[in-house]
Amino acid sequence: MPAPDAPDAAPGEAGATVDGEEIDVEVERSDNALVVSAADVTATVYGMDAAGGRVALDADGNLRLEEGDSVVVEASGYEPGSEVEIWLRSTPVQLGVRTADASGAVTGRFAVPSSVDPGDHRVILSGLTAAGGKSVIGVGLRIGAYGKESGLNTWLIVVPVLLAVLAALVLPTTLRRRRRAHA
């Protein structure tokens, strides 16, 4: 089964389509979860650690999961009795399929696969809305431990600045000495 095409979404953001057309999305943060509202569907996505505790959002309000954690999805607004696929992307991995109950709600807890590379990913929910439209919602999150970025970026800025300052100090002095020597 191919993964659904889903809008890009950076960590802490979301995107959605209905019948292939992008729609407006609202993202709120509540109780260490990202709550996404798009058309008729509202989805709450959060992390749960191996001990069953809710994973706190990071300082930027992003959902960050580690190996051994699970992603939890609670959504409503789907056509009752319809199937809702839950995927994890960058490299598509189907986490599961849930059938919407009589009120159009689905829930699921899915372990983060150990094969997933650390980095930015999206949880995708794909199903029929209560109004009958094909809805695809992507919620951005981060997976894996990553500390501070390497110092390479800093050095790529600092070295040229230092060279420019050094040139500004040395060149005028050198030019003056040469002029005096030729005079």
Q: Tell me: the pLDDT tens digits for 132-165? A: 999 999 999 999 865 544 455 566 677 777 777 7
Average pLDDT of the segment spanning 1-10: 87
Cα 55 to Cα 66: distance, rounded to the nearest angstrom: 10
Average per-residue pLDDT for the chain: 89
Which helix (H) or strand (E) segment holds residue 137: the answer is strand 134-143
Please state the pTM of the whole predicted model: 0.77
Would you call 178 helix, strand, or coil by DSSP? helix
Torsion-angle region of 16 (φ positive above 0: left; ψ -120 to 50: alpha; else: beta): beta
Strands 64-65, 119-128: pairing is: unpaired
